[in-house]
A and B are shown apart, each in its own frame.
Chain A
Amino acid sequence: QQQVKQSPQSLIVQKGGISIINCAYENTAFDYFPWYQQFPGKGPALLIAIRPDVSEKKEGRFTISFNKSAKQFSLHIMDSQPGDSATYFCAASIGSSNTGKLIFGQGTTLQVKP
């Protein structure tokens, strides 16, 4: 059972454009939503995260938008650069849980063309 659904599977964007990756979740108990970035041959690394008490969080060129009623959240990469080419994973967890388990989406491979 896939509790976090991510789209699109792959994305090609021109340098300077906006990259948008979407995720939807089912479990209303989720209260922590991070995004991870993975370069080829490396493990994923935490990029940015949000809690449902805010609708948007921005860190540099990366922004998470959160819609609690729709159970959706998205990652926006402004002024996309070739160095942003990577695989991006959304994830969700129950922050108050003592297990710390993260449920990941299927991943999006982003290619930024120069």
Chain B
Amino acid sequence: NAGVTQTPKFQVLKTGQSMTLQCAQDMNHNSMYWYRQDPGMGLRLIYYSASEGTTDKGEVPNGYNVSRLNKREFSLRLESAAPSQTSVYFCASSDRLANYGYTFGSGTRLTVV
């Protein structure tokens, strides 16, 4: 099925460990985004890539890095995980402009202990 695929779906990390969240889309979308979802906070933008070859910080970028590997793939890396990064992470893509609508992946539930 066409859409946005995120891996893994669940992950438990110890404080200080690193990991990479993977995201791939097969809709030929130009723009990709990483959001985190926390209770009462809504969805907050971590990083985004408006087009292949570009990445920019969002609202809450500290502690994260991203790589736009190619047009399909956009990964999010936690270099040294902290308990404050416990969250549900969503990747989304859109056809260049938000008013075409985002397509979201099903999320990665990350717990840092």
Contacts and interface: CB of A to CB of B under 8 A. Distances in A.
A105 B42 CA distance: 6
Interface in B37-64: 40-45, 48, 50, 56, 58
B96 A98 contact: yes
Contacts of A36: 102
Interface in B61-101: 90, 92, 94, 96-99, 101
B40 A100 contact: no
Contacts of B98: 32, 34, 93, 95, 97, 100-102
Nearest to B44: A104
Contact of B48 (A45, A99, A104, A107): A99
A100 B31 contact: yes
Nearest to B32: A100
Interface string A47-77: 0010100000000000000000000000000
Interface in B16-35: 31, 33, 35
B99 A43 contact: no
- The size class of the interface chain A forms with chain B is 20 to 34
Interface residues of B, number: 27
A38 B50 CA distance: 24
Given A99-B56, A100-B31, A9 B101 contact: no
B40 A9 contact: yes
Given A32-B98, A100-B31, A100-B97, A45 B104 contact: yes
Contacts of A45: 104
Interface in A4-31: 6, 9
Given A43-B90, A93-B99, A95-B97, A104 B42 contact: yes
A53 to B, nearest CB: 13
B80 to A, nearest CB: 27
16 contacts: A32-B99, A36-B102, A43-B90, A43-B92, A44-B102, A49-B99, A49-B101, A51-B99, A98-B50, A99-B31, A99-B48, A100-B50, A100-B97, A104-B35, A104-B42, A106-B40
Given A89-B42, A106-B40, 13 more contacts: A36-B102, A41-B107, A42-B107, A43-B90, A46-B101, A51-B99, A99-B31, A100-B48, A100-B97, A103-B45, A104-B42, A105-B42, A107-B42
